[in-house]
Structure 1
Amino acid sequence: MNSLNPYLNFNGNTEEVFNFYKSVFGGEFAMVMRFGDTPGCENMPETEKNGIMHIALPIGSNVLMGTDVPKSMEQVTAGTNMSISVNVSSREEADRVYNGLSAGGKATMPMNDMFWGDYYGMLTDRYQIQWMISYSEKYQS
């Protein structure tokens, strides 16, 4: 296991929220990815293309991450506004962790190779906790 990090979901104000967190914790964003710059979002409404698909703010040895949830998806409420992002050391570990956590829960996005290069999946466990499992070859030594 490489790391566990919080992943926050917002209804369109992620950039505002993360600029606030940056003002409190300091540092620089490690990544800012907008919907309009990503494959598969070409038909998204123009009003949502500037939304944050992924943002990352390193804080100490952890990374606070977040996203805007498009209006076409179920809107964020208390309980769906946070996930735990798990970065693992191998594809096999990703499958093992994903299968273990999804047992008795809901597999929302099966493990698969993603356009940004990670092997990635999402699920909600039997206790209603949302998880994001990710393996990236580029971060292995």
Structure 2
Amino acid sequence: MTPYLHFDGTCEEAFGFYAKVLGGEILVMMRHEGTPAAEHVPPEWRGKIIHARLKAGEHVMMGSDAPPGHFAPMKGFSVSVHPETGAEGKRIFDALAEGGSVQMPFQPTFWSTQGFGMCTDRFGVPWMVNCP
């Protein structure tokens, strides 16, 4: 399964950030401009993202900017990442949490001696970082 995230105009910035933090590559960053969808959004929205695709290792995440009036804050789920080491988990967690909020600090737990943490990043995306 592949998470598909909706943003309030910050998809391009968020995916650039995720590519950097997760060591991924943006495969698609398509704007409304130049597509049939351009006529269905305000002119100032045509530079926003209609579809993005990011690959990090074997994992894929997709997203877009929700058109004005269609965005709802993200809730009821978390994007979960599973770094191989506690050091990598801490690095990823700290980067995602910067400018956002921490629900559970990254720390060892009874199921993960290397570390687990929960945060919401500055784009409103909830994350769980869980080391094996």
1:48 match: 45
1:31 counterpart letter in structure 2: V
RMSD: 2.3
Select 1:16's aligned residue among 13, 16, 21: 13
Cα 1:79–1:44 shift into 2, 3 Å: same
Q: 1:26: how far off?
A: 2.1
Cα 1:67–1:81 shift into 2, 3 Å: farther
Q: 1:81: how far off?
A: 8.6
TM-score normalized by structure 2? 0.52
Specify the structure having the higher radius of gyration (Cα). 2
Aligned-partner Cα distance in 1 for 2:77–2:67? 13
1:76 match: 72
Aligned-partner Cα distance in 2 for 1:81–1:50? 28
Cα 1:47–1:31 shift into 2, 3 Å: same
Q: 1:55: how far off?
A: 0.5
Maintained 8 Å contact 2:30/2:52: yes
Gaps of 5+ in 1: 83-141
1:49 counterpart letter in structure 2: R
2:55 match: 58
Equivalences for residues 1-141 of structure 1 within 5 A: 4-73=1-70, 75-79=71-75
Identical residues among aligned pairs (%): 37
Aligned-partner Cα distance in 2 for 1:81–1:41? 30
* Alignment size in residue pairs: 79
Cα 1:22–1:39 shift into 2, 3 Å: same
